Amino acid sequence: MAKRKDDSRKPASSAAVGAEVTIGKGGETHQTAGGDRPVLTTQQGIPVADDQNSLRAGVRGPTLLEDFHLREKIFHFDHERIPERVVHARGFGAHGYFENYKSLANVTQADLFQRAGEKTPLFVRFSTVAGSKGSPDLARDVRGFAVKFYTQQGNWDLVGNNIPVFFIQDAIKFPDLIHAAKPEPDRGFPQAQTAHDNFWDFISLSPESMHMIMWIMSDRTIPRSFRFMEGFGVHTFRLVNAEGKSTFVKFHWKPKQGLQSVVWNEAVKINGADPDFHRRDLWDAIGAGDFPEWELGLQLFDEAFAEKFEFDILDATKIIPEEQVPITPVGRMVLDRRVDNFFAETEQVAFCTQNIVPGIDFSNDPLLQGRNFSYLDTQIKRLGSPNFTHIPINAPKCPFAHFQQDGHMAMHNPKGRVNYEPNSWSGGGPRESPQGFQSYPEPVEGPKVRARSETFADHYSQARQFYISQAPIEQQHIGNALTFELSKVETPAIRERMVSHLLNIDAGLAEVVAKGLRLKAMPKPATAAKPTRQDLKPSTKLSIIKNGPKSFAGRKVGALVTDGVDAEILAALGQALKAEGVTLKLIAPEVGGVKDSAGTWHDADEKLEGGPSVLFDAVAILPSKEGAALLTTLPAARDFVADATAHRKFIAYAASASPLLEKAGVALDEGFIPLKTAADCAGFVSACGKIRFWDRDAAER
């Protein structure tokens, strides 16, 4: 190889030119790179002169092993990733606070519930269950809803979901459930989907899952955003007051914004257009000062109610309808701060159901008991050390003291000679206290057995109750979801087995699914341990549509505009939406923007192909006459209108948009609001408060 001139004596970088050393108040020195920019250093604090080039023997020679900066930098990069969660891998978090409404001292001694108006800091992580970290946000899936309260008595983790029941009754079946739901092991797909043989084979052989199946096939598993979904503690817990009296409790999070979901076709397209849709929504909302709020509600009941209730309160596949035990609002949660670093906070936060504080205790729910065992083990595996509580996001914010020591990445150890208890040394560290956590002294007796209580045996009655509580359009969506999922199952026997279970829930639903799958013959109903109860009344609280938002605030409207857009209408629309707390986004043929009819320039928020209507809660079609002619030639423009129509959104339109509407093949109905003058914009915004124009769906049916 031809030799080249060695100019290694020349500085390869000027990154540190102008570096200065300043002396702090305490005499410590601080290096700066000029101005207020710090000098780049290694992890050991050694200033780096060149971060652009490795140390070489000659400019074209081999890299030298003594380059400690290169080694440290590559070493750290190689170890940046930690194992993702087996479940709930894809999550997004935020900081906030819980504000207590009034003292609950009569039912619990938990400190955060003692004083009206007191605020307790917290961290929330929302997540999907089945998908990997790289899966899309709008997969049909349960959503995790985990809250870490930093109370004055230690951390309390309320680790729940956006659905109040679960697939299984005993934690010993959890590995089987997740193995069945995850990608099939021989092929590694499908990702973030339950529409495959393994999942439905397991479910069709597990009648206890039927109640949960109704929930996950409903629109609950495709929420509009984290802000518009409920959260549940799932299990029955205990509250214990200072006198030792116990009260059973179920925890509920009710969104102040109301409930809202998307429709399935919309979810599929959102996943393609913006797989980070839920993450972006929460990030944007907090950044805009539109802080999401939930109310914490308690279902409180005693042993007498537990004995007479139709189902076992320890069965995690059952709910207690709100009509039987009303929910008592006790405080509100506000998320008002984004994370500073996703990995340090959202990825490293460690939730454990075992983390409870004095005044809160467990029940004997076998699923909860197993979770208490599993979570701690999981966190040690993921975070690599028993010292994961030393990570700031996991550390208590109250004083704490213990004798636990050493281990990987120990950030603090006991000081002095004492690292055990009891000890006889003066000032020998912390001691236990009678005021510390004490488990509720529930009497327990019985033989050691592997058995399921007979009180857990009714698998269909509450599944039926959930289905009959839905609005007709929601029932249709459940039927469509079951048909879609089972159509992906390749084994006919599994499809038939699932329909046999549906016959025990609702014959009409079973017929819809059987017809959609074109079964050659209707199977016999599955054998039931207990017959389906027909006397359970519908519960309006189980429907999303019946508990929808009371306003259109917090949403986004996409306006498709071109050069020559009517200036007065565009301005009036923006003002009307802003007054309602709604964001207006402009979508244009080119991302640079458009010039309105008055000659004013407007920057576009999205280029047409990158801003489909699925990303918005309602849309406005506002081209000029010339612009409409252009849009009719663009497939993305036709899709923008056709999808908004199919997804039952309210659509405002200028008269000039008629050629585009015709080209998209849509039929106008009352969900299309003409904007003839600027004054019409207020009527459009008012109509959007209904969220969806469901009558369009009824017409199609």
Paired residues of 95 in beta bridges: 123, 337
The C-alpha atoms of residue 361 and residue 381 are separated, in whole angstroms, by 26
Question: Helix count (H) and strand count (E) of the chain?
Answer: 19, 20
Identify the active-site residue in 100, 161, 394, 504.
161
Identify the active-site residue in 88, 235, 459, 477.
88
Kindly give, in sequence order, each residue whose CB lies less than 8 Å from that of residue 1, ignoring residues fewer than 6 positions away. none
265 is catalytic: no
382 assigned to a ligand binding site: yes
Residue 257's closest CA among 695, 601, 617, 511? Answer: 617
Kindly give, in sequence order, each residue whose CB lies less than 8 Å from that of residue 577, ignoring residues fewer than 6 positions away. 557, 583, 584, 685
The amino acid at residue 502 is L
Angstrom distances, CA of residue 474 to CA of 44, 137, 485, 502, 694: 59, 21, 16, 16, 11
The C-alpha angle with vertex 485 and arms to 193 and 169, in degrees rounded to 5, equals: 70
547 is catalytic: no
Kindly give, in sequence order, each residue whose CB lies less than 8 Å from that of residue 383, ignoring residues fewer than 6 positions away. 82, 348, 350, 391
174 assigned to a ligand binding site: yes
Residue carrying structure tokens 């005993």: 170
Q: Reduced to 3 DSSP states, what percent helix, strand and coil does the chain have, rounded to the nearest 5?
A: 30, 15, 50
85 assigned to a ligand binding site: yes
The C-alpha atoms of residue 479 and residue 225 are separated, in whole angstroms, by 23
533 assigned to a ligand binding site: no
Query: Which pair of tokens denotes residue 311?
Result: 């189902």
The C-alpha atoms of residue 516 and residue 486 are separated, in whole angstroms, by 10
Paired residues of 30 in beta bridges: 22
Query: Which pair of tokens denotes residue 265?
Result: 């076709």
Active-site positions read 88, 161
Q: Which residues belong to the annotated binding site?
A: 85, 125, 174, 371, 375, 382
Q: Which residues belong to the annotated binding site for heme?
A: 85, 125, 174, 371, 375, 382
